[in-house]
Amino acid sequence: MSEEQLIELEGKVVQVLPGTMFMVELPNKHLVLGRISGKLRKNFIKIIVGDLVRVEMDPKDISQARIVYRLRNSEASAFRTAAGARPGGGAGNRSGGARRRR
């Protein structure tokens, strides 16, 4: 049996839900339920509202997605141009200039 093709898109996290689930807005303004993949869970990658993420979706069920990667600001240009945000603007700056502490 051959492996099915997955739809791979970039989106923006708009809401954090319990149980490591997130509402993700795609460039076409659709909302999907996203769950984090095993690699993100294993490496303790934190995802918050406003983060740009890469998701994989099954063509048979396009209401759910698996979050496979959290994008850095420089990698997120495709979503910004599709969503109409300013190129090179402050769309990815979460904290208003202050650095986050761990």
Which amino acid type is present at position 12?
K
Instruction: Name the E strands within the chain.
Output: 7-17, 21-25, 31-36, 52-58, 61-70
Q: Could you tell me the domains of the chain? A: 7-86 (2.40.50.140)
Whole-number Cα distances in Å, 23 to 14, 28, 54, 75: 6, 14, 13, 21
pTM check: above 0.75? no
pLDDT tens for the chain, residues 1 to 102: 347 799 999 999 999 999 999 999 999 999 999 999 988 999 999 999 999 999 999 999 999 999 999 998 766 655 666 555 554 544 555 555 556 566
Of 40, 33, 24, give the one whose Cα is nearest residue 61.
33
